[in-house]
Structure 1
């Protein structure tokens, strides 16, 4: 190995060693504070209309983890809106998709459970439950008026912890507390609906 190459590798090693504590601290801080980050959103055409696919990352802070251990169900909402902007009048909402999923811990079985209506799924670790909670596919988009091809709509999406579903004593506790204010940024972008096709890989994404 040439001396220059050796020095270059050694320099990279030193830089990585210096950055490692910073990376570890940042990860620990993110876990301590918690948060929701949307990674990917796509709208896909299907035979009966359109479906929504979302990938996000949900991290709970210690306050929310303790609430789960006490048997409190945490409800997370994903809301997607499609709006037709009109310069001559108020914007018109043309389609939406809203999903609310509950996350609960059962101390007796030591399992975490996700529930949506009559459907439920159990997990042995919180990490597994959050991984499934953060990712869903094929959520129907309900059209409230005719959806048109070639029209540029405004799409919005947000994922948040629904505090209104908490027991009343906890709702009082959440007032002014950042530990309970868990939400993604309100995303907004312009999009045209993808053409209906038999090819399932066709989709319009953020």
Structure 2
């Protein structure tokens, strides 16, 4: 009887430990954070700069190493406050970034283009760059430098505006078998969104930054 009780307690403790480990693993999904946000007003438009901090999940890195490219989407919308009706959107911009591993050269390639893939025939990249390591490629993706998101005339300085900025891994661009397998899985989640009042700052001198045309 005593042995049976000890066995039951042992099974209970083992099950509890396994549940705890699974919970820790689920909660360990890397968070995506938007920081160092700056919106500048210049003569040639409204420019957004930011740092998007995230770690590539192991399952995503494994897929990359198998030759499956990943697409990241940045979207920025500016709304003018209107107390009597829905806030109208006065400006909108999008950017698509393709990250791929090249097995023959063992290098990482980043293609950056304006707009969404669904809105054009493929990815018409305006910036292409190769990197020796994945961290170097990710660093290029994470830093948003003076991205033009609106024309200067789109924003009325006498009105109050709101900014919505988002960054996400676009799972809809994965091969269809992958889309079915990753649906709803937190391990594939790389996304962040920021909503705040638009605060325009004077443009700082551009020093060696690479800008993608709108």
Which TM-score tier does this pair reach, normalised by the shorter chain?
Answer: 0.7 to 0.9
Matching residue of 2:92: 96
Where does structure 1 lack aligned partners over 5 or more consecutive residues? 1-28, 202-206
The residue correspondences of 1:52-131 to structure 2 (distance < 5 A) are 52-116=48-112, 117-131=125-139
State yes or no: 1:34 paired with 2:39: no
Where does structure 2 lack aligned partners over 5 or more consecutive residues? 1-24, 113-124, 207-214
Matching residue of 2:150: 142
CA distance in 1, matches of 2:52, 2:154: 29
Change (3 A) 1:75 1:144: farther
RMSD over aligned Cα atoms: 2.3
Change (3 A) 1:46 1:54: same
Question: Deviation of residue 192 (structure 1)?
Answer: 4.0
Question: Deviation of residue 34 (structure 1)?
Answer: 3.0
Matching residue of 1:156: 164
Report SS of the residue matched to 1:94: strand
Report SS of the residue matched to 1:72: coil
The residue correspondences of 1:183-198 to structure 2 (distance < 5 A) are 183-184=191-192, 186-194=193-201
Does the 8 A contact of 2:109 with 2:130 survive in 1? yes
Q: How many aligned positions are there?
A: 169
TM-score, normalised to structure 1, is: 0.74
The list of structure 1 runs, each at least 4 consecutive aligned residues, that deviate by more than 3 angstroms after superposition, is 143-146, 192-195
Change (3 A) 1:151 1:200: farther
CA distance in 2, matches of 1:118, 1:51: 17
TM-score, normalised to structure 2, is: 0.72
